[in-house]
Amino acid sequence: MDFVTLFALSAILCCTVSCASVRSQESESRVTGALRISKGAGPINVEDAPNGAKLNTGAGRIYVKSAGRFVAAGTGAGNIVIDAIDGSVDVATGLGTVNVTMVGNPADGERDVKIIGSMRDVTLVVPEGLDMDFDLKLAYTKNAKKEFRIVSDFPMNQRVSDQWSASAGSTPRKYIYGTGQIGTGRNRITIENINGNIYLKRSQ
């Protein structure tokens, strides 16, 4: 079984755990009226989900034009695009790009973000004035044919691991870490990616 397949399976497992957490929240009636779509395979397209959305597909692109409160989404392989989310984000793909744009009043509601990407770039755009504590981790494997990087519009402390490690998989990898705090750091921003760049941007 090659590395990409192993990582995709790992991402699906992570997504399953994440979605299970969301199901628990819904059962306690803390999330009501949310859109729920689950498919064995195939794309998911959402125009508007004002009360939030929980989306899952075994393989396929996930696209959300607009959502409020939260988006929890996972795909085994496929791009994830959220054009406008006024709330929190918890998404994962086993193979694909991730593009998320946060909108709305940065002082209102819960705006934690967790993104797991793989083999493609991850881009998060946050509104001006968002208080956040961000923790970014980029892994790159020994067989990668290009250099990857973390690019942030915000002040960032960056560290690169010294040694190759195979503790997280069969392919040795190194890590780039990017951390920082803006304002009070009230919102937790976590992004993990492998063999793809991470971009943390300020909305224009």
pLDDT digits 0-9 by tens, 37-56: 999 999 999 999 999 999 99
Low-confidence ranges of the chain (pLDDT < 70): 1-32, 169
Condensed to tens digits (0 to 9), the pLDDT of residues 55-73 reads 999 999 999 999 999 999 9
The conformation of residue 69, written as its DSSP 8-state character, comes to E
- pTM score, whole prediction: 0.83
How far from 75 is each of 13, 53, 62, 159, CA to CA, in Å? 10, 14, 7, 30
Contact call for residues 152 and 200 (beta carbons, < 8 A):
yes
Would you state the pLDDT for residue 32?
65
Which amino acid is present at 170? Answer: S
